[in-house]
Amino acid sequence: MSPVTCRMPAAAISRARRSIGDCAQMGLEPNTPLGHAYLIPFGAKNKAGQWIKNVQVIVGYRGLIDLARGSGHIVSIAAHEVREKDTFELEYGLEEKLRHVPYLKGDRGAVIGYYAVAHLKDGGHAFDFMPNSEVLEIRNASQGYKQAIASAEKYKKTATHPWIDHEV
């Protein structure tokens, strides 16, 4: 077997070690099919204007769910999409209300938003809603999404990226 040559500078290797340690402290497994967390290489300019390599931990949604469940305060957590033909009522304030009845008689229409609900150990609940327009703003600001689109245009191919492949 031939030796492996590492093209990462020592500082990036040190950051990668810290990132792995961060994952271990949180009880998350990086870069596995569990989707807990991801060690992502990034290129960035230093103060001298030179490009350097670095590694950053990105906690996946599954990791966030595991962390929330591990807190002991959450019994269950779920997320759902809301579509145009669904019955959806949302009220914030002192008497919060969330009611969602999916349309079951055919095409439900376009996605208008998403929400998550957590059932708490003390019997309460917490929820939040995000309109699709806000989700798209986040997607459009994502470096990974921008790079996937730029690469697809450059090489004249179909873009592949989680924001594209798994878009509802």
Shared domain check, 28 and 88: no
Beta bridge partners of 120: 74
Q: Which residue's entry shows tokens 């290489």?
A: 41
Angle of helix 143-155 relative to helix 132-141, nearest 10 degrees, comes to 70
Question: Is the backbone of residue 127 left (phi > 0), alpha (psi -120 to 50) or beta?
Answer: beta
Angstrom distances, CA of residue 35 to CA of 41, 54, 55, 114, 160:
17, 21, 17, 20, 18
Shared domain check, 79 and 61: no
Q: Going residue by residue through the chain (168 aa), what tens digit of pLDDT does each one get?
A: 555 556 666 767 888 889 899 999 999 999 998 989 998 888 777 788 888 888 889 999 899 999 998 999 999 999 999 999 999 999 999 999 999 999 999 999 999 999 999 999 999 999 999 999 999 999 899 888 888 888 888 887 777 767 677 765
**pTM listed for this prediction:** 0.73
Q: Which domain holds residue 16?
A: 1-71
Shared domain check, 168 and 91: yes
Number of domain units in the chain: 2
**Integer Cα distance of 90 and 117 in angstroms:** 12
